Amino acid sequence: MNNNIVYRISNVGECSRSLAASRLGNNPTPETEDDKTRLKYYSDLEEICAKKLINLGLQILPGEQSIECNKPGCVYEDGSRRKGIHVEIQTDLLDFVGHLDRRVQLKSGVYPVEIKCLGRFGWQKFVKDNFKSYPSYAMPEACYLEAEGKPGLYVCMNRDTGDLAKYVINDKKKEIKLDDFIDLELPVTFEKVIEKLTNIEIEVASGTMPKGDGNEQECSWCHFRYLCSTTDISEKKMAIVNVPAVLDAATMYKEGDYYFKMGKGMKDSASFALYEHAKQNTLEKFRVGGLSVNYHGQTTRKWYDAKVLEALVDKKILKKAERESAPYDNGRIVILKEKDEVEE
């Protein structure tokens, strides 16, 4: 590498503000045991995915397990060696260094392989919208393809079920011929990556940082989050958690809330249409499309106002009628509208 500014390929899709914060010499929050556990967790999943590809008959290089990089400087914060196949890109202003997950040997040549592992709902979102749902994944992939000078494979594993979503990326000449792999074009180019990072360097040269452009989940594990938050988290006793299983639970909750609301609206609309048919045709019961519809006419509900009873009835009598439920979790979960909003 020359004396240009060096960016790690794995970081180029991150929030512009966090990248600028690093370039300006701000110190990231220290790496925690959770961070180390998270890294080990994803490394293990990557090897599981590589083994699955081998079991499909693909010649994966270097194999099921990744290799350690022996290049100078390719270490994590704790001093351990980074894993993967070392690649570099040199441009007039910026240089890039990164590590491919694997390569694959095909009849037409050797091609790069990138592996991602997502929870069930994240995986479904990627299958549905690809890089639109995960734009931060697209820029590193653009760099890896630039470094290799050829198209590549992109494999996303559902870590809950082991299902694989398999893609051939940017294969304009149709070099790669694999069954069950879907052709996909990246939504960004390497030139767009250069443009983003050049704009960051312009801000850095002025001693400023651009606005954040990451998503909520990225903010939850960002080590420069303290530069963005306008609320003293310690005063509100709000912990920031980045444990993979808990992040998945948060994603699942938001997905579930969205589909619950959408499902309720669909069910309400459908119920109205089904009951209207029963009323108009004087049907107490009918079957349609796998449903059994029973219509019993209109009714009302009755209940007792607790405040009125407490005002009129002797407390000793009320105590006899009082019942207590089994213990349950008492809390509140709020879906934040802004990525740096903090709820008490």
Integer Cα distance of 119 and 163 in angstroms: 11
| Per-residue CA distances from 50 to 41, 57, 66, 237 (Å) | 15, 11, 9, 41
Structure tokens at 139: 């820029």
User: What DSSP character marks residue 290?
Assistant: T
What is the helix (H) or strand (E) element at residue 225, kind and residue range? none
The pLDDT of residue 244: 76
Q: Identify whether the C-beta of residue 160 lies closer than 8 Å to the C-beta of residue 167.
A: no
Name the band, by pLDDT with cuts 50, 70 and 90, for residue 238: low
Instruction: List beta partners, residue 97.
Output: 8, 88
The pLDDT of residue 338: 45
Q: What is the pLDDT of residues 13-69, one digit of tens each?
A: 999 999 999 999 999 988 777 777 777 888 899 999 999 999 999 999 999 999 999
**Residue 77: Cβ within 10 Å count:** 11
Q: What percent of the chain has pLDDT over 90?
A: 53
Structure tokens at 68: 């350690």
Best CA proximity match to 45, nearest among 163, 148, 167: 163
Instruction: List beta partners, residue 168.
Output: 153, 183
Name the band, by pLDDT with cuts 50, 70 and 90, for residue 151: very high
Cα 87 to the center of its chain, rounded Å: 25
Instruction: List beta partners, residue 81.
Output: 75
Phi/psi zone of residue 289: left (φ > 0), alpha (ψ -120 to 50 degrees), beta?
left
pLDDT at 4 over 60: yes
Name the band, by pLDDT with cuts 50, 70 and 90, for residue 201: very high
Q: Identify whether the C-beta of residue 117 lies closer than 8 Å to the C-beta of residue 142.
A: no
For the chain, strand residue ranges (E) read: 5-8, 59-61, 85-90, 94-100, 102-106, 109-118, 152-158, 164-169, 182-184, 285-288, 291-294
User: What DSSP character marks residue 83?
Assistant: B
Q: What is the pLDDT of residues 243-281, one digit of tens each?
A: 777 888 888 888 888 778 778 877 877 888 898 899 989
Integer Cα distance of 92 and 215 in angstroms: 30
Best CA proximity match to 169, nearest among 73, 219, 91, 100: 100
